[in-house]
Homo-oligomer: A and B are copies of this chain.
């Protein structure tokens, strides 16, 4: 068990390192007004804290930096319960007043502000495609063998894709198909569409439509493509501000990951309500073992809608970030609800 004084010193070191990004020496800590011990005493405590695994030394004659365990402890037990600063609240308010046409805009704007305010990178997973339901299908002919299939979900989200019909198909058949599909599939969750299509609807179609096979394969192809959710970014290059990213190799590996939405989504996703903080190698992916990822969720109609995430150096401004994430998580939920009704 750590003594009161050890906690105090640990907190001071983490705080200092977070703002200065440089190993913290005993003298630096001793100079703080609220610290009434000599450097020597602090050195002894530091030595103990190191032995316990909360601190480490880059080299023998340098100051201490927090270890991963140190950050974890700081986050779990030492965090000052920060309120969002007035200027932050003001900044957010002034940029979030606009009414958004689409939830997409709201999300994009949130990602942007979050990254601007923190100088970290924000990642927001869009309202869950998996959770939303089909509202309407439309098949609009474009040219001879092409048509555009448009899928509208109950969340107002639109997906579209061009469909090729290798053989000529009569427009009355197309109309029939669309009608049947709409009748049978409305209200079906997106992720079940493909399944339902082949199981339940296929028989009906067979009876009403010639060229049934052609049509089915085309439709199935299209649906298969639309099972992934959207990922929005803010401040992709903000990482470059951090001293720990002055190495080009690291920059590349990180930026390359950002190009793979599916990976990022897997990484960020977390349906646990409330805040999640993953420090360094607590993240599953190697390239992130020097980063902290903070996630929170937002809701729609009382159900999980998506995740907001913030990616920064392990040496992250935790108190501020946490209050920001908390705020956004609630604010996005609120705004989505308001726009809906």
Chain B residues with CB below 8 A from A161, complex form: 101-102
What string of 1s and 0s marks CB contacts (under 8 Å) between A130-152 and chain B?
Answer: 00000110101011001010101
Question: Does A108 lie at the interface of the complex (its beta carbon under 8 Å from any beta carbon of B)?
Answer: no
| Known contacts A148-B156, A152-B148, A162-B102; A252/B236 CB under 8 A | no
What string of 1s and 0s marks CB contacts (under 8 Å) between A244-277 and chain B?
Answer: 0110100110011001000000000000000000
Question: Does A164 lie at the interface of the complex (its beta carbon under 8 Å from any beta carbon of B)?
Answer: yes
What string of 1s and 0s marks CB contacts (under 8 Å) between A155-167 and chain B?
Answer: 0101011111000
Number of interface residues of A (CB under 8 A): 36
- Near B by CB (< 8 A), chain A positions 93-135 give 99, 101-102, 135
The smallest C-beta distance from A165 to any residue of chain B, in angstroms, reads 12
| Known contacts A150-B150, A156-B143; A236/B248 CB under 8 A | no
The smallest C-beta distance from A262 to any residue of chain B, in angstroms, reads 15
Q: Decide if A138 touches B138 in the complex (CB within 8 Å).
A: yes
Q: Decide if A158 touches B163 in the complex (CB within 8 Å).
A: no
As for how many copies of this chain the complex holds, the number is 2
Question: Does A154 lie at the interface of the complex (its beta carbon under 8 Å from any beta carbon of B)?
Answer: yes
Question: Does A229 lie at the interface of the complex (its beta carbon under 8 Å from any beta carbon of B)?
Answer: no
The smallest C-beta distance from A164 to any residue of chain B, in angstroms, reads 7
Chain B residues with CB below 8 A from A248, complex form: 240, 245-246, 248, 251
Q: Decide if B255 touches A237 in the complex (CB within 8 Å).
A: yes
Question: Does A340 lie at the interface of the complex (its beta carbon under 8 Å from any beta carbon of B)?
Answer: yes
In Å, the complex CA distance between A160 and B135 comes to: 15
Question: Does A337 lie at the interface of the complex (its beta carbon under 8 Å from any beta carbon of B)?
Answer: no
In Å, the complex CA distance between A148 and B140 comes to: 15
In Å, the complex CA distance between A340 and B140 comes to: 16
In Å, the complex CA distance between A146 and B135 comes to: 13
The smallest C-beta distance from A274 to any residue of chain B, in angstroms, reads 29
Chain B residues with CB below 8 A from A259, complex form: 236-237
In Å, the complex CA distance between A152 and B160 comes to: 10
Question: Does A175 lie at the interface of the complex (its beta carbon under 8 Å from any beta carbon of B)?
Answer: no
- Near B by CB (< 8 A), chain A positions 162-221 give 162-164, 221
Supply 5 further A-B pairs (C-beta < 8 A) apart from A138-B150, A150-B152: A101-B161, A101-B163, A138-B138, A142-B156, A150-B158
Chain A interfacial positions (CB closer than 8 Å to B): 99, 101-102, 135-136, 138, 140, 142-143, 146, 148, 150, 152, 154, 156, 158, 160-164, 221-222, 225, 236-237, 240, 245-246, 248, 251-252, 255-256, 259, 340
14 A–B contacts, CB within 8 A, in A order? A101-B222, A102-B162, A136-B140, A138-B140, A142-B156, A143-B340, A146-B156, A148-B156, A158-B160, A160-B160, A236-B259, A237-B256, A248-B251, A251-B251
